[in-house]
Amino acid sequence: HVFVANDHPRFWQGTLRWSLETLAGEKIESGSDEVTASPASATRLREFDFAHAVKKYGAAHLVFTAALYNGDQRLDWRTALFAKEKELALPNPKLHWDMTQDNDELVISLTAKAFARFVELKLEGADVVFSDNFFDLPTGWTAHIRCPLPTGWTVEQARKALRVHSLSDVV
């Protein structure tokens, strides 16, 4: 089941885009639905049954991704796995990142060539809070993560200090 929690006192309308893929990024099924979420409540948007795909590909090889969009703007996404992390056949996601500066903040744009589980960012030598951390990154998607530029640092120093890892680096 896919639910959305709407904390606002009015209805929310948008698009649910979903996909079932292998961890390596092969798309098995995908689709989108126009959805409406009731005010101040959790609304079930859709129910899925992927038993056939789990049987064909194996639970340790699949990931389900659901994302909410307002027009072309992706508001949020979640992933669901069909096996425990220790059982997953995680490929090397080949994470690629770029860093830019926006006023007093760093903007780190990350992409993955395969599903990346629990992406972790660290800025060695600085104690910063990232806008997101320990997140899943579906194949081919880009996440834009922000953090403050440490006082006295240049973007080049931050580039050299950035460390990006995922669960595939430790299993």
Query: 10-residue block means of pLDDT along the chain (171 residues)?
Result: 94 96 96 95 95 97 97 94 93 96 97 97 97 97 97 96 94 61
State residue 170's pLDDT score: 81
| The residue count for the chain | 171
Contact criterion met (CB below 8 Å) for 117 and 88:
yes
State residue 72's pLDDT score: 93
State residue 44's pLDDT score: 94
The model carries a pTM of 0.90
State residue 89's pLDDT score: 87
29-57 pLDDT tens trace: 999 999 999 999 999 999 999 999 999 99
For residue 108, give both structure tokens. 């780190």
User: On the CB side of 33, how many CA atoms lie within 13 Å of its CA?
Assistant: 14
The residue written with tokens 């050299």 in the block is: 160
Q: Alpha-carbon Rg of the chain, whole angstroms?
A: 18
State residue 101's pLDDT score: 97
Residue 122 CB neighbours (<10 A): 14
Positive or negative torsion for Cα 29, 116, 157, 132: positive
For 9, 78, 136, 148, the CA distances from 18, given in Å and listed in that order, are 26, 10, 15, 32
State residue 148's pLDDT score: 98
State residue 105's pLDDT score: 97
SS3 letters across 51-66: HHHHHHHCHHHEEEEE
In sequence order, what are the residues at sequence separation of 6 or more whose Cβ sits closer than 8 angstroms to the Cβ of residue 40?
6, 7, 8, 9
